[in-house]
Amino acid sequence: MSETDGQMLGITVLPEYFQVEGVERVLDNCQDVAGATAITTSPYVMRLSNAEEGQREPPIDAGAGDVRLLDRPLWGKRELFVSTSPSFHANKSLYINTCYQPPQGDKLTETEGEVVAEALSMMKSRGLKTFFQVQAAIPPGYRVQFSGVVEKDEPLLPNGRQVDNRVAANASLASEDVLNYQIALIKDLFQQYPNVDGVRIDWPEYPPYKLDSAFLDFNPQVSRWCLDEKEFSDIRQVVSEAYHWLHGNLTDEHVRELTSLEALSDTFHDLGFHQGLSQWLKLKQRLVTNYIERVRTALDDSGFKDRLLVPHAFPPPFHYLSGIDYGAIGEFSDHIAVKMYTMHWSMIARFYLDQLAQANPSTKEDALIKMVYSLLEISDEPGPSEIQNVKYPGPDDPQLPTAKVQQKKFAVAQQQAGDTQLAALVHGYGPVEEFASRFRTAYEAAGNFAWVNRYCYLSDNKLRVLGEITHGS
């Protein structure tokens, strides 16, 4: 499925900025200055909180992103603790088929909730495409920080353990309760806000931010996606063996050789892991594709066939671990937003390196870095020689040089997606000039079709840069 082949610039504007800056000012900045043609927001409102009751804004990304600061202050602050409430009163009759229930509206809903409807109405009057962004598997689904996932739905490692301190607090995609909740939520939103054109779904996959997260998911509910319990058990056994091999059996020779996906595949074949790992990756793809298909079918059957469905996706080669099959999900997607979050790529590399180095202490750091950088395809240049220098960039620090790797990632993703439109999903975090270069590369690679996440990182200078690039295209 494909929405359009035209030019697009979309900006994610979360509702707190409508609250703080005012709807008209925000839309003037996005449309008149930056050249936006589409806006995404979310169905909640926000208030200041404290460290005991709220969550840090911006999110700390499992501690690595605690260097992040907002470009556009909220309530006068560039970092703060916040709490949220829904912007609407849920239609509870939609949620009867799931153990998850939407949060109750409260005083904040009553006093501030209308700002979301006001913003959407003004967007439509300005001719902007309108979207909601929701989380795929983090009930209540409004923000990444606020997870209500119950224990039975936690994704598990082959040994049955949960991953500690995950970046993405996703539930298992095999959970019918989670899927039914998300379908109910999206239906509810389209009923409550009939002028919304579509929904963008974040993390409809298994985000492989940490090495352990790459080895999900062995929640017992996943077994029904196998032929029988024996197939599930066999896959779990092979994945467990591969996990243990990586944790204590890597030699300097291995590390020197494993600098391409082909070399890694050959090594796993020699070790007897290849078939089982291939089955496991295909299993994750089935779970992800089922999620997108089920959402699309439910919307079509509920009178929302005209609403746009846009899943976010990790770029190649991360998508092999996350479970994204671009061709398969493209059948049910109006376009696919490919995440070009380069500050996350260095964070992922550091998480992987720390774990591998600790588990294989005899390996040389520079060789490990070369291996991880090569396998993840995250930089145009060689990495540093010491792991301590692989880190999440600060607000004023340049991010990884990625012009060539971004172009390659898009080319591979588009080849796999076929006729489905891809959008570059570019993160606004970082210095102005570096952001401008990174955005231009991704925007052009995606055929002038892009989203920027998010308004909170778009200083006035960045907004002007976006306008110059998009108007010059």
Segment 27-50, tens digit of pLDDT: 999 999 999 999 999 999 999 999
Is 445 within the bounds of a domain? yes
Mean pLDDT of 114-129: 98
- Evaluate the CA torsion angle 231, 237, 240, 245 in order and state its sign: negative
Spatial contact of 208 and 314, defined as CB atoms under 8 Å apart: yes
Domain count within the chain: 1
Spatial contact of 281 and 320, defined as CB atoms under 8 Å apart: yes
Is 153 within the bounds of a domain? yes
Is 402 within the bounds of a domain? yes
Is 147 within the bounds of a domain? yes
> What gap in Å lies between CA 349 and CA 150, rounded to an integer?
29
CATH number at residue 401: 3.20.20.80
Is 401 within the bounds of a domain? yes
| pTM beyond 0.85, yes or no | yes
Q: Is the pLDDT of residue 330 over 90?
A: yes
- CA nearest 9: which of 452, 463, 462? 452
Spatial contact of 239 and 280, defined as CB atoms under 8 Å apart: yes
The boundaries of the domain holding residue 355 are 8-472
Segment 239-286, tens digit of pLDDT: 999 999 999 999 999 999 999 999 999 999 999 999 999 999 999 999
Is 363 within the bounds of a domain? yes
- What is the four-CA torsion angle of 285, 259, 269, 282, rounded to 10 degrees? 0
190-194: long-range contacts at Cβ-Cβ below 8 A with a sequence spacing of 24 or more? 190/299, 190/304, 190/307, 191/91, 192/43, 192/88, 192/91, 193/43, 193/88, 193/116, 193/117, 193/120, 193/132
Is 2 within the bounds of a domain? no
Segment 130-161, tens digit of pLDDT: 999 999 999 998 887 678 899 999 999 999 99
Is 1 within the bounds of a domain? no
Say what the pLDDT of residue 6 is. Answer: 79
